[in-house]
Amino acid sequence: MTKRDLISPTDLNRDELENLLALAGRIKAKGTAPLLAGRTLGLLFFDPSLRTRVSFDVAITQLGGHCIQIDADREIYDLEPQEQVVMDGPAEEHVKDAARTLSRYVDVLGVRHLSKTGDWERDGQDLLLRSYAKHATVPVINLESTQHHPCQAFADMMTMQENLIRTQGRKLTLAWSNHPEPKSLGATHSVALTAATMGMDITLAYPLGFELDPEVMEDARRQAEQAGGTVRVINDLAEAADGCDVLYARSWGSHRYWGDPEREAMVKRSLQSWRVDRSIMARTNNAIFMHPLPVRRNVVATDNVLDGERSVIYDQAENRVHVQKALLVQLLK
């Protein structure tokens, strides 16, 4: 087979995404045979992980394969992703050498790396992840980067389908929420792009200064138009919640303050009202509440929303396993 990577949700077209979700649904309903016996999944984590780490390990194990996990930030040396450089700095090895070596050991490679140089133009390129994908001879899966978190978004779409029956034309509000630390835009970008691909009517709600990446916005609008959906922006949380079928809360950092977290923290002191509570949920169309976790309780959303009957946050977490089983099967069979 031709090597295929999953870096962004747009690496799958709508038909491919629907096939993946359908396979995940069958796997969830009927269980799995050891379809990947003898196969090895390598996971490189340059950043902390709970759900991604455990769900991928469970997925490959239940498919009959084996998982090797490396805490790359502690267990391997600095890597150089740039081409044609004189490596006289802290990097001990070039990514191409690590990627080509790992390709001799594993059948598929997952990488989580959230670049934090403080320069959005650089961090937004996901250089290390894309360098692994360029040089590895086995499929590379994005386990979360500065720009994307496709596996999370696919599990979220599976969860929406389970609760809404159909997603075409349904209203999704993707709402910024407060958080004491700057957060990656990866999940937000990927959920927006995936929902656009599936023809949802998307409302992006955020305070001024917390816009999404312009290229991602352009791509989301294009995908939505092709699929019969829409994308709009509202800078008021309560208004954005009106009549939605899904309210998805997520914090993300600001491009404007990307290299200045103290300035971002100062700005966010006036944005504490950007929190999902019962009064916000009451404005929705009996919406399901979603969040990818981990969540700061009573900062991002109140306990009574997170623990309420319309909350599906644990369904989202469970569906990571089923979607990732389907993904591994499609990449390796």
pLDDT per residue over 22-39, tens digit each? 999 999 999 999 999 999
Q: Measured between alpha carbons, how far is 172 from 201 in angstroms, rounded to an integer?
A: 6
Please determine, for residue 76, whether its predicted confidence score (pLDDT) is greater than 80: no
The predicted-structure confidence for 159-213, as pLDDT tens digits, reads as follows 999 999 899 999 999 999 999 998 999 999 999 999 999 999 999 999 999 999 9
Q: With pLDDT > 70 as the criterion, what percentage of the chain qualifies?
A: 99
Distance from C-alpha of 32 to C-alpha of 128, rounded to nearest angstrom: 33
User: Are 107 and 197 found together in one domain?
Assistant: no
Check whether 330 has a pLDDT greater than 70: yes
Per-residue pLDDT for 1 more than 70? Answer: no
Domain assignment of residue 210, yes or no: yes
- Among left, alpha and beta (phi > 0; psi -120 to 50; other), residue 165 is left
Residue 98 resides in a domain: yes
Mean pLDDT of the chain: 95
Chain segment 222-262, per-residue pLDDT in tens: 999 999 999 999 999 999 999 999 999 999 999 999 989 99
Q: Which amino acid is at 314?
A: Y
Q: With 90 as the cut, is the pLDDT of residue 77 above it? A: no
Judgement on whether residues 19 and 130 belong to the same structural domain of the protein: yes
> Quick check: is 3 in a domain?
no
Q: Same structural domain for residues 167 and 208? A: yes
Q: 156 and 302: one domain?
A: yes
Distance of alpha carbon 222 from alpha carbon 225, whole angstroms: 5
Task: State both tokens at 142.
Answer: 């994005």
Shared domain for 158 and 190, answered yes or no, is yes
Beta pairing class for 93-94 and 79-80: parallel
Which residues form the domain of 230? 152-316
pLDDT band at 325 (very low <50, low <70, confident <90, very high): very high
